[in-house]
Amino acid sequence: MTKLNFLLHHSSLMISDLEASVKFYTEIVGLQQVPRPDLGFPGAWFQLGENQQLHILLLDNIDPTTGRPEHGGRDRHVALTVDDFAYVRASLDENNVLYSMSKSGRKALFFRDLDANAIEVIGRE
Single out the residue of 49, 37, 21 nearest to residue 119, CA to CA. Answer: 21
User: Is the pLDDT at 26 greater than 90, yes or no?
Assistant: yes
User: Is the pLDDT at 116 greater than 80, yes or no?
Assistant: yes
Q: Where are the alpha helices (DSSP H) in 28-116?
A: 85-94
DSSP tag of 65: S
- Tens digits of per-residue pLDDT, 44-83? 999 999 999 999 999 987 888 888 888 898 999 999 999 9
* 8 A C-beta contact, residue 58 and residue 42: yes
pLDDT score, position 121: 97
User: Is the pLDDT at 96 greater than 90, yes or no?
Assistant: yes
Q: pLDDT class for 97, splitting at 50, 70, 90?
A: very high
Phi and psi dihedrals of 61, rounded to 5? -95, 120
Adjacency order of strands within the sheet including 43-48: 10-15, 52-58, 43-48, 32-34
Phi and psi dihedrals of 94, rounded to 5? -60, -30
Q: What is the pTM of this model?
A: 0.92
pLDDT score, position 9: 95
**Average pLDDT of the chain?**
94
User: Is the pLDDT at 14 greater than 80, yes or no?
Assistant: yes
Percent of the chain with pLDDT over 70: 99
Calculate Rg over the CA atoms of the chain.
Answer: 15
Angle in degrees, CA 17, 19, 20, rounded to 5? 65
